[in-house]
Chain A
Amino acid sequence: MSIISTLINGLSMGAVYALIALGYTMVYGIAKMLNFAHGDVIMVGSYVLFVFTMKSIKNPFLAILLAILFCVILGVLVECIAYRPLRGAPSLAVLITAIGVSFLLQSVAQLIFTVTPKQVTMFQFNSIEFNGLTIKTESIITLVVGMIVMIALTVFVNKSKTGRAMLAVSEDRGAAQLMGINVNRTIVITFAIGSALAAVASVFMLFIAPVTDPTLGAMPGIKAFVAAVLGGIGSIPGAMIGGVILGIVEQFALKYEFLASYSDAIVFAILILVLLVKPSGILGKKRHEKV
């Protein structure tokens, strides 16, 4: 019966990867760049959560709201200051800048908070016993909230005027301009949404392990990138599917002792396999740009 609890853990881990992967895939689709600093936004979010859940303040809901707000502002600033001046520059220059932003964020976090991991406790959860099955409450919350956020995002992108503009810019920037769409504004909105999703992911990351340090975002960032590639980078449903597959595979690998220590290796083996078999990913379209 423990298969079911592993499945639930996998789904909830997958929801976290999906939330992060959405940031990668939307920015890639619309701004045509790989934002390698995206994972570090999660880390920044986790420190905001740390500061506002310290004993002297201790207000987890305010902390979550502020983490989202802070990450959105950060994402918008990074786009406007670091990436916008490079619009139209070779993609290698943009990629190097993104890596630079990643280092910068990690270094600033290290200056302020040192490398010592910080304990972040937002809520106390009890496990649910069900038919002799133990299910973690936080997994269920992650799964449910993650699904609600993703459904809301899907509706927003497909039904709202701004969402339609995002899809138009991602398909043909020039034609979108001819429709009267402000491309820069659309890209800023995309960064804001991606960063908000990363902040939500940071809450869930701290549910899983309630400690943070300046490299918190690195591994989930890379894994979510794998999820985005797996689903087809640029595709929003693809990022969701890719994230969920990755989460489930990883949790099942962790379940078996002989596989557990290889769980990260398995994730990257999946990336290599996808790149070999179907480089455009599960839902990806053939593109001319090089990643």
Chain B
Amino acid sequence: MATIEAVTPRVYAGTPRRGPITRLLEDERWLASFLLMPTIVLLGLFIAYPFVKGVLLAVTDTRVGIPGSFVGLANFEKLWHDDIFRVAVYNTFLYTFVTTVFKLVLGLWLALLLNRHFRGKAFVRAFILLPFIIPTVLSTFAWKWMFDPTFSVINWMLFHLGMITGRINWLGDPDLAIISVMVVNVWRGVPFYAISLLAGLQTISPELHEAAAIDGARAWNRFRYVTWPLLLPVTMVVVLFSVIQTFADFQLVYVLTGGGPANHTHLFATYAYQIGVGTGLLSEGAAVSLAIFPVLLLVVIIQLVYIRRVETV
């Protein structure tokens, strides 16, 4: 023991003395936790806490101003028999599916066009992003005016083209209303697809297309056998993000229809808001919100597994 004590100071003799915190941070385990702290705090505060709070709310009968008590799954059972909730579920799936297909097809098409060389390319690229960078609520209000039965510029055009004689009440008819909402969602979502897919396209070496062209592949086959498979990982990530966002969409419907006419255009989020905040039934609103969770979880798992598979092949 005596020898060890004698040797140790000598080893450190050349290095300046360090404080206890410095020494602690030189241990990787401590340093790692230290560096993770801000992220953990943020995630905990803004994601984990509200989520847990939501789960706790959903199993009580809390209302605004009334603490409430534990009721088990009663809120979910009630939802099960709730016709508006069923419409909202149907709408959400339809809305997500239809808009995702359109956004993907249009976005990919735009991306392919933008990936070519032409004059004013930079300008067009910036221009394409406009729907994406204008605050959604603002642009949605503009759309609301365009759909307004009296002031609708769409009606005006159709009328002057001689295609309609009367006024179309875009947001007043249940079917037209959901279609209108979807149109706006596609309009808003396409830029994200186009720009992300364009970035993906630009990582594909032009030489591959040239090689394929020499190999005898015409445009469609070049897309099918070269572009599409190489773009697939990017596409999956883009679709993943977009599906999650669309599934939980709120602003568009809230501004355009508010869930109407007669609760025909509700999505999960708008319905949860209407019940939870509008009506004050906090616990039931939380239950509606939570009902999305399993679906989103599934989507995320499927796509992450898929992405991992693509990456490791």
Are A and B co-members of a single complex?
A: no
